[in-house]
A and B are shown apart, each in its own frame.
Chain A
Amino acid sequence: MSTTTAAPTELAVHQVDARRMGFFTDTTTCIGCKACEVACKQWNDLPSDGAQFETGSYDHTGSLGASTWRHVRFVEMLDPAAGGPGSGHPGDLDLVQWAADGDGEGSGPGAGAGVGGPASTGVLGDNRWLFMSDVCKHCTNAGCLDACPTGALVRTEFETVIVQQDVCNGCGYCVPACPFGVIDRAPTDGRAAKCTLCYDRMEDGLEPACAKSCPTDSIQFGPYEELVDIAQRRVATLHERGETGAYLYGAGDEPGEELAGGLGAFFLLTQPPERYGLPAQAQSPVQENVAPATVAAISAGLLAAAGVALAFVSAAHGQGRAARLRRRRRW
């Protein structure tokens, strides 16, 4: 890679020979401790969003925003009695109905009367929380960056996308341009803010605060290609163990154009993406509105300017994987 030619304004290059860096967030090892959320706020000096009690979940911070750059989503999975009548969908268990049905002697839970009562093994079998630590995806085709008229949003030498706070004029065009609902304007000064993949820490060779604080390594940080390799092996391991629903979201398990050309911060999921509040398809508005060929040309231009050819190789490689893995996808 070379950075001897003048970088376009969209690129910030402080380190030559930098590689694409990213996050691999493995939801199967997340324990929902929210340490990443707190570590992110501490390192980046982000304020509390206030204390609001939310119903229905242990998640009181709700979503990503201008002052929440990591957010742990809690998805409650309550499986009714496996195999019992009316046990089609997780979360369908109607305890009130169960109580009405199960009042008489002999027809209560465990009596095998066909009602999925709490004492039957199926109910206790697959009750769990899905945790997902969400974050900016640092898209290959970043909608926010495409929409930014001031050049405040830039791609760094690590192929991450960051906001230059001192350039941002608060127009907010980036907000609807993000297919993931990540970027947000701060209520205080109106400027856009989001995860920087701890650009300041990376400049000093440190891993981002969230990955550093993760006690189970659910959040892994590193060179993108290495992370994809680790993630694919993890998927294979999970498949061997019978967790056949495991797949990668944003790293080659789908055509590049579906998920913003590939995600620098990608995820290992076990349920359809919508269950985690993630879109099944995600494109930058430019991709939506311009013929694919043109997109490719634009992307090629940008990337060539950055002197990064590896990402293309990776993307092409990813397409083959996507075709293979798409068969297993559940959405």
Chain B
Amino acid sequence: MALRGHASIQGSTDIPTLFDMLPGYLRMPAAEDDLQSLEAYNAAAGNPKGWWVNYPKYSISLLKAWFGEAATADNDFGFGHLPKISGNHVHFATMLRALDGGLDGLFLMGQNPAVGSQHAGLQRRALASLKWLVVRDLAEIESATFWRDSPEVTSGELNTQDIQTEVFLMPAASHVEKEGSFTNTQRLVQWRDKALEPPGDARSELWFMHHLGKRVRAHYAGSDRERDWPILNLTWDLPEHGERAEPDAEAVVKEVNGYVVATGEPVSGFAALADDGSTACGCWIYSGIYADGVNQARRREPGDIADPAGGWVSPEWAWAWPANRRILYNRASADPDGNPWSERKRFVWWDEEAGAWTGYDVPDFPLDKRPDYEAPDGALGMDAIAGSEPFSLNQDGRGSLFAPSGLADGPMPAHYEPIESPVANLLYPNMDTNPVALRWRRPDNPYHETEDPRYPIVATSFRLTEHHTAGGMSRKLPWLAELQPEMFVEIDPVLATDRGIVDGGWMVVMTARGEIEARARVTDRIRPLRVDRRRVHQVALPWHWGYSGPVRGDTTNDLGVLSGDPNVFIQESKAFSCNVRAGRRTGASTARLAGVHAGQHIAVDEDDVLAENPKETPPT
């Protein structure tokens, strides 16, 4: 599941939809770890110095939240039953696995890879290689209809009768038709109530996952196979209400907050979590969001706007993780002696009289640790953090301009050209592109070499105000569709004149992956670059259109190549090289994959090794 481009990206990382993390930035166990015990995992993932000394409290409380009574010290709290990652399971790698026949089924929840993902022609072929596919969305998006109307099917490259993918299209409730929360970039968790019932069969994600889980568990009831243990013992007991048996979303908040196992009472915060199985907590950094049995994220009290303690912070407006702190590491707003750096901007400071940290925000520091505290030799945990070192999650308590470890590249920033660029790297002539960027080298994912004369033009993609990502929420609405009705390419007048392209006329953009047609928007806004005494033209492409719905157009992502940045694996191909000409595309298909068969890996090289192995993910 990818929720990119949505309102709660922060939230979808905190309680992650990412393959390599557990809730609260705990490390996902990996199959190749040397030791598969909880103790070894905790030792490897935690740190002896700094706040992460508490790691076992959070991992064990998480296991208690998931496996309830079945999680005991004797069975490592069920740790051995957690799924283990065995490679790089990012979106691109997963779709390639599907293409090669290694994946039976897929859930798409709010994602439209047939339009919105790089190398969309390949993505559609991957969807066509699945046995089953569940699509949950507000409209019948291209990823649900590819088997009957994709360019590959229209052109005859693929035949509908040969596509065995069984597609289940499930209508989804919109954000006003369900309750829940958004976590913004400030880590502020804001609750919203449901305004109206979703129409027809549309349901919330919570309803869908809850009832799917119940049905799956019913299938497994009574099984005594060891591998079914996590399904049978998963706590899956949310209260339901109403005719539609909607699960209680606030019960999820309570589990996320954490509670005392013996009494069920919500804990006040992560400081109350224990590593002996006496507490359960779904996401330790969110602990406190349900303190006192109240959904703190639902608060709407702005406070006294005129008062710094009120309006600067508004501590009772919703709730921020961790511990309702609005600014992380806010001890840094005071100098090493604990006095505000700026009286005008005083925020958190040391009160000598009270012997405590105080301020407008919740201090992000042990309240009674004096600014002049020195860590004795050999100190561990928070004792190893001096009173003048605000960044207590780091072992040395200090912030870093450049991370000394944990990145696949760096630590110093460097300039590389994009993987596909019409110009060489002027800064490092011996290294045109990032050597540790992810590349999936295979016949159906061909790369343009640097300075490839066939592709002398820079292409960059962009978004329009009027449409939302792959268009599932906007292209189907006539009022939005009429505002930006057709795919276009912005191109400068020099290049247009050179290629005989006229404003409003048709033009074609070509890469090794495909060719798409679009209206030309000839504009002075797009300017040629001058690089190394050469003029380099660029074209800009919005990427919202697809092959179904009331307004249709070719898909920019049909041009792209699968690639990833080395750290979080986000597509590296925001800019790539291409060529353009006047006219319409030559064939019915936008993809150039006909005749390229799936599963033809070429020899594994070092890039492939990188692509197959998950990164090391130390806690951050």
Which A residues form the contact surface with B (CB < 8 A)? 32-34, 37-38, 41-42, 47-56, 58, 60-61, 76, 78, 93, 95-96, 98-99, 105, 108-109, 118-119, 127
Contact = CB atoms under 8 A, between A and B. Distances in A.
Contacts, number: 71
Given A53-B486, A60-B485, A96-B494, A48 B478 contact: yes
A97 B475 CA distance: 39
A95 B494 contact: yes
A118 B494 contact: no
Contacts of A118: 527-528
22 contacts: A34-B466, A38-B480, A42-B479, A47-B478, A50-B482, A51-B485, A52-B482, A53-B488, A53-B504, A54-B504, A55-B504, A56-B503, A60-B483, A61-B483, A76-B525, A78-B525, A96-B494, A98-B494, A108-B530, A118-B527, A119-B530, A127-B525
A78 B494 CA distance: 16
Contacts of A34: 465-466, 483
A33 B484 CA distance: 12
Q: Which 8 A-B pairs have the closest CB atoms?
A: A51-B485, A55-B504, A48-B478, A118-B527, A53-B486, A99-B494, A48-B482, A95-B493
Interface in B472-506: 478-486, 488, 492-494, 497, 503-504
Contact of A55 (B492, B503, B535): B503
Given A34-B465, A60-B485, A118-B528, A41 B479 contact: yes
A98 B497 CA distance: 13
Contacts of A32: 465
A96 B495 CA distance: 9
Given A95-B527, A99-B535, A105-B533, A51 B521 contact: no
A288 to B, nearest CB: 35
B551 interface: yes
A37 B484 CA distance: 13
B486 A51 contact: yes
Contacts of A54: 504
A51 B482 contact: yes
Contact of B482 (A58, A60, A76, A108): A60
A266 to B, nearest CB: 25
A223 B364 CA distance: 48
Interface string B501-538: 00110000000000000010101110110100101000
A42 to B, nearest CB: 7
B495 to A, nearest CB: 9
Given A53-B504, A78-B524, 16 more contacts: A33-B465, A34-B483, A37-B483, A38-B480, A42-B479, A47-B478, A48-B482, A53-B485, A55-B503, A58-B464, A58-B484, A60-B485, A96-B494, A98-B494, A99-B528, A127-B525
B311 interface: no
A32 B523 CA distance: 18
A53 B519 contact: yes
B156 interface: no
A99 B478 CA distance: 41
A61 B482 contact: yes
A56 to B, nearest CB: 7
Identify whether the interface residues of A are mostly helix, strand, loop, or mixed: loop
A95 B483 contact: no
A318 to B, nearest CB: 35
A77 to B, nearest CB: 11
A72 to B, nearest CB: 9
B355 interface: no
Contacts of B525: 76, 78, 127
A96 B493 contact: yes
Nearest to B535: A99
A105 B533 CA distance: 7
A69 to B, nearest CB: 13
Interface of B is mostly: loop
Contacts of B550: 51
A95 to B, nearest CB: 5
B112 to A, nearest CB: 20
B365 to A, nearest CB: 37
Contacts of B530: 108-109, 119
B497 A96 contact: yes
A38 B533 contact: no
Contacts of A58: 464, 484
A119 B531 CA distance: 12
B341 to A, nearest CB: 30
A58 B523 CA distance: 11
Question: Which of B464, B504, B530 has most chain A Cβ within 10 Å?
Answer: B530
Interface in B543-580: 550-551
A109 B536 CA distance: 13
A109 B530 CA distance: 8
Nearest to A105: B533
Contacts of B523: 76
A37 B524 CA distance: 27
A78 B525 CA distance: 8
A55 B507 CA distance: 14
A48 B481 contact: yes
A4 B497 CA distance: 70
B527 to A, nearest CB: 4
Contact of B485 (A52, A55, A93, A99): A52
A118 B528 CA distance: 8
Contacts of A108: 530
A49 B503 CA distance: 23
B177 to A, nearest CB: 17
Contacts of A42: 479
B99 to A, nearest CB: 34
Contacts of B485: 51-53, 60
A321 to B, nearest CB: 34
Given A42-B479, A118-B528, A51 B494 contact: no
A96 B503 CA distance: 14
Contacts of A49: 482
A38 B468 CA distance: 15
A32 B494 CA distance: 28
A153 to B, nearest CB: 27
Nearest to A124: B527
Nearest to B480: A38
B479 A38 contact: yes
A40 B479 CA distance: 10
A51 B481 contact: yes
Most buried by B among A52, A53, A54, A56: A53
A60 B484 CA distance: 6
B525 to A, nearest CB: 7
A52 B493 CA distance: 23
A54 to B, nearest CB: 8
Contacts of A48: 478-479, 481-482
Contacts of A93: 524
Contacts of B494: 95-96, 98-99
A42 B533 CA distance: 52
A65 B111 CA distance: 36
